Amino acid sequence: MDDNETTGLTSGRLTLSVVGTGTRRQLRVVARSAEELSDFDGIVSTSVDESILEGSLSPVNARAVRAQIPWLQPRPVGLVTSAGVGDRLGLATPGHVKAFRTYGNGIVPVFAQQSIREMDRLGRTPQEVLDDATFGALEAGWDRQVGADADHLKTAVDIDRCLEAGFTSFTLDPGEYVRDVTASYQGDLTDVPWTALEDDESSMLRRYSAGTIDLGEFSLRVDDVELRRAAHKYAAAVAYTVSMYRHLTTHADYPVEVEVAIDETAAPTTIAEHVYMATEMKRLGMQWVSFAPRYIGAFEKGVEYIGDTDVLATSLRQHFAVASALGPYKLSLHSGSDKFKIYSLAADATGGMLHLKTSGTSYLEALGVAAVCAPSLFREIYDVSRDAYQGARASYQVSAVRERTPLSNDVADAALDTLVTSFDSRQILHVGYGAVLTLRDEQGARWLNDELHSLLAAESDRYKNALEVHIGRHLAPLKGTSRHT
């Protein structure tokens, strides 16, 4: 055990910890008497002065842990600097805890964060995602606030599933309702769902013609052409977002917060389009804590930002001026991993009113452990990812070219880790997780998933240390920048 780690947490008269490794990980709760353990599920042994429960990492026990240790109960994060660190394997939280401890003081962590798309692809339920993060945080003795982000929700059913599990941040994604604006677009607004928007064309045109919008650092006038384009492109998305928002707020019986994400749309979100969306969502009664436009340049999966950083810095300042004037709310950076040249400028542009999302990069750190410690397993994972790439790439922003990558057998054991760091192979590994983790053998077992889990259990310190350093590089530039502490 490292010296900067604690074992478990004490709450009232109970001491809780996660013991064992791999599939033998168990919850252990030590109490003065057996009665104090009644909310937990497991086998109790009682001696003269204490009772000890050992039980599985079950949903019942996860719930009891969160009830017992209030700070492990996720809650809304608000406007402080925050970072979400997804975890496709359900094993990364102890390493994430180390990263936040060492490099992220003051940044609120969102350990439980996964898009519905990833959960469904992997057959993980929202409850499993939340519970894995709870047990991981307990195992590492995390002693501060946590959030829990149900990411890229596209339907009311998605919302219900994540509410039932206890998520507290809801990222609403109306991307499928964003319309492309073609070059021949003439300003026609007949497709706008006026009834859902509680609006009509002349009222809308009048509202925006009232004058310039003061955005502090600069002012903006959304002219008639820009307004029509914005409405044509985003009106249906606004209506759909509002309907999801109303569903969420009428069904949530505990505090929740909302992010709106349109980062996966085809074209960058202009400042005028951001103004339009925020203005209309606000008019319809929405409140949200963060917004993820599609930024200028390319935020491809798992690799450095592609584009001019000066142009991005200016654009972020303008988006943030809109967020300040019409919110305030944070800007959210999706596909935010491995963009090391932009964290400082993003923190500067927003004064720390920023949420960073990473997910696949922690899976890549796990593959880095495999590359070093289990070459034949790594080769299998790489081959499966490479074979699956043409299909897997469709739902992600990536530009890797398979033909530029070597065959696994042409790479020496000692050089396998370069496949995790080189641009093309890294992206191929990044988006190959679905094919890898769900691949079944003849008995129906997910053998690559199981072998990777066994490896990471045996090499848990190596995985934790790798995550500490790698996620730490994302957090350190954001630390101490928040105006809202």
Residues at the contact surface with Zn ion, assessed by CB under 5 A: 263, 334
Nearest CB to Zn ion, comparing residues 199 and 263: 263
Q: Token pair for residue 31?
A: 């109490």
The catalytic position among 151, 226, 264, 424 is 151
Task: Look up 50 and say whether it is catalytic.
Answer: no
Q: Report the nearest approach of Zn ion to the CB of residue 203 (Å).
A: 33
Nearest distance in Å: CB 360, Zn ion: 11
User: Omega into 406 within 30° of 0, i.e. cis?
Assistant: no
Structural tokens at position 34: 């057996």
Query: Is 380 assigned a catalytic role?
Result: no
Q: How far is the CB of 160 from Zn ion (least distance, A)?
A: 21
Alpha carbon dihedral 291, 294, 299, 300, in 10-degree steps, equals: 110
CA gap 303, 424 in Å, rounded: 9
Q: How far is the CB of 19 from Zn ion (least distance, A)?
A: 36
C-beta of residue 165 within 8 angstroms of C-beta of residue 129: yes
User: Rounded distance, CA 289 to CA 331, Å?
Assistant: 9
75: Cβ contacts below 8 Å, ≥ 6 apart: 145, 146, 147, 168, 255
Question: Of the two residues 81 and 171, which places its CB atom closer to Zn ion in the complex?
Answer: 171
Q: Measured from the CB atom, is 128 or 263 closer to Zn ion? A: 263
**Which residue type is seen at 459?**
E
- Measured from the CB atom, the residue of 302 and 368 that comes closer to Zn ion is 302
Nearest distance in Å: CB 263, Zn ion: 4
Identify the active-site residue in 128, 158, 226, 259.
259
d(C-alpha 363, C-alpha 80), whole Å: 26
Looking at the Cβ atoms of 257 and 263, the one nearer to Zn ion is 263
Helices (H), 175-270: 201-209, 224-251
Q: Enter the DSSP assignment of 298.
A: B
Q: Strands 108-110 and 169-172, how do they pair?
A: unpaired
Cβ proximity to Zn ion, 101 vs 117, nearer residue: 117
| Least distance CB 336 / Zn ion (angstroms) | 9
Q: Which is nearer to Zn ion, 137 or 398 (CB)?
A: 398
Compute the least distance from the CB of residue 18 to Zn ion, in Å. Answer: 30
> Which tokens sit at 343?
């964290």
Burial of 298 (C-beta count, 10 Å sphere; 0-12/13-18/19+): middle
Nearer to Zn ion among residue 113 and residue 270 (C-beta): 113
The CA distance from 133 to 117, in Å, is 18
Cβ atoms of 326 and 282 closer than 8 Å: yes
C-beta nearest to Zn ion: residue: 334
- CA angle 242/243/249 to nearest 5° reads 85
**Residue 17: strand, helix, or coil:** strand
DSSP 402: G
- What is the nearest approach in angstroms of Zn ion to the Cβ of residue 197? 25
**What whole-number distance in Å separates Cα of residue 328 and Cα of residue 411?**
51
CA dist 83 and 107 (Å) reads 7
User: With contact defined as beta carbons under 8 Å apart, do 261 and 152 qualify?
Assistant: yes
Nearer to Zn ion by Cβ, of 98 and 357: the residue is 357
CB of 114 to Zn ion, least distance (A): 11
Give the number of residues written for the chain: 485
Residues β-bridged to residue 27: 18, 55
Residue type, 204: M
Going by C-alpha positions, the residue among 182, 205, 279, 191 that lies closest to residue 238 is: 279
Catalytic sites, residue numbers: 151, 259
